[in-house]
Amino acid sequence: MVSAGRSGWMSVLVAALLPALPALATELPAWAYPVNPPEYKPAPDDGSIRRVPGSRAGYTLSQVRDLFSAPDWHPEDHPKMPDIVATGRKPDVFACGFCHRAEGTGGPENASLAGLPVDYIIHQMADYKSGARTTAKPERAPQKLMMALAKSITREEVKAAAAYFAALKPKANLRVVEADTVPQSYVANWFYADRKNGQTEPLGRRILEMPEELEHFESRDSRATFVAYVPVGSLKRGEELVEGRTDKAPACSGCHGADLKGDNVFPPLAGRSPTYIVRQLYELQVGVRAGRSATKMRASVKDLDQDDMIAIAAYLASRPN
């Protein structure tokens, strides 16, 4: 964990290094970086077997929390996982499929890897290893784990994982809803969850992305689905920004393709987690993503404020993947 003093020092440094950016751009979008509160305690394992729809598999709570195991609820949905994805390599390299799921679907707290280009995955892992890619919120466990394992993973393991995830077809597992008010939420495990109490709260200037069935997602089911609540009007504004019809940024299609599904170098954007997209836009802008592929993106995002980032992310998430 990072002390409050160090975290504050980093914020001051970022602001000092980027005096020309819009005021909103240097302010961390805290809603996109949920951190488990001190009172959060994972439920104890009572030994019962967990189930998910459409699967004959069963796992205990301890098994679905094992960093060196990727629960395989639907083996018929994907090729055989390589060892680095299924079990990792003890003691330092966790199973890629633990966080990113057996089918690379990921979640709001990390990245979807299914369908990403092989070279893109390899270069991102190289940036994590070198320290060129870090995070604006170092105390968040998903990013801490990623940066730690990148130091120990081998190039051959990265190539095996990249080939596996690149060959998977992305799932359409997200619906985007414009709203002023949303269900009351809480931070469950580095992501937001619905309190299911019938109460609502203002959405404000943020995106609220949550699993529709918390237990399925916590069980690491690759068929889990999500809802993302976005501010009213953000889809229309996002379309204008993504298509380059404003003076804020060039059209995303220039690199990511007319259908926003990427190519052999640039990653697909359509249908991706909007929370994840906002984190990446912000981190590219403030320079904590500084690898080879980040240079052009930093120029593209330099004039965006956080409302722009929300709109872009909302629109991209709404597009078919």
Lowest mean pLDDT across 53-67, 106-120, 279-293, 300-314: 279-293
Residues 6+ apart with CB under 8 A from 39: none
Burial class (CB in 10 A: 0-12, 13-18, 19+), 4: exposed
Name the average pLDDT for the chain: 92
Listed residue (8, 6, 163, 175) closest to 84, CA to CA: 163
**Residue 8 clears pLDDT 50, i.e. is over it:** no
Position 264 scores a pLDDT of 86
**Structural domain boundaries in the chain:** 172-318
209-248 pLDDT per residue, tens: 999 999 999 999 999 999 999 999 999 999 999 999 999 9
What secondary structure does DSSP assign to 250-295, as a single string?
--THHHH-TTS---SSSPP-TT--HHHHHHHHHHHHHTSB-STTHH
32-48 pLDDT per residue, tens: 999 999 999 999 999 99
Listed residue (88, 85, 91, 90) closest to 72, CA to CA: 85
Listed residue (7, 297, 302) closest to 135, CA to CA: 7
CA–CA gap between residue 149 and residue 136 (Å, rounded): 18
Position 26 scores a pLDDT of 62
Q: Are strands 200-202 and 181-183 parallel, antiparallel or unpaired?
A: antiparallel
Position 14 scores a pLDDT of 39
Burial class (CB in 10 A: 0-12, 13-18, 19+), 20: exposed
**Residue 12 clears pLDDT 70, i.e. is over it:** no
User: What single letter denotes the amino acid at residue 6?
Assistant: R
CA–CA gap between residue 271 and residue 268 (Å, rounded): 9
**Is the preceding peptide bond at 82 cis, omega within 30 degrees of 0?**
no
70-121 pLDDT per residue, tens: 999 999 999 999 999 999 999 999 999 999 999 999 999 999 999 999 999 9
CA–CA gap between residue 106 and residue 99 (Å, rounded): 6
N- to C-terminal Cα distance for the chain?
A: 36
Q: Could you tell me the pTM of the whole model?
A: 0.91
What is the spatial order of strands in the sheet that 208-211 belongs to?
174-178, 226-230, 208-211
Q: How far, CA to CA in Å, does 300 sit from each of 159, 270, 285?
A: 29, 18, 9
HSE value, Cβ hemisphere, 13 Å, CA-based, for 23: 0
CA–CA gap between residue 225 and residue 271 (Å, rounded): 12
CA–CA gap between residue 55 and residue 64 (Å, rounded): 15
| CATH of segment(s) 172-318 | 1.10.760.10
Position 296 scores a pLDDT of 84
265-278 mean pLDDT:
97
149-197 pLDDT per residue, tens: 999 999 999 999 999 999 999 999 999 999 999 999 999 999 999 999 9
Listed residue (76, 95, 256, 71) closest to 160, CA to CA: 95
- Check: CB of residue 46 under 8 Å from CB of residue 61: yes
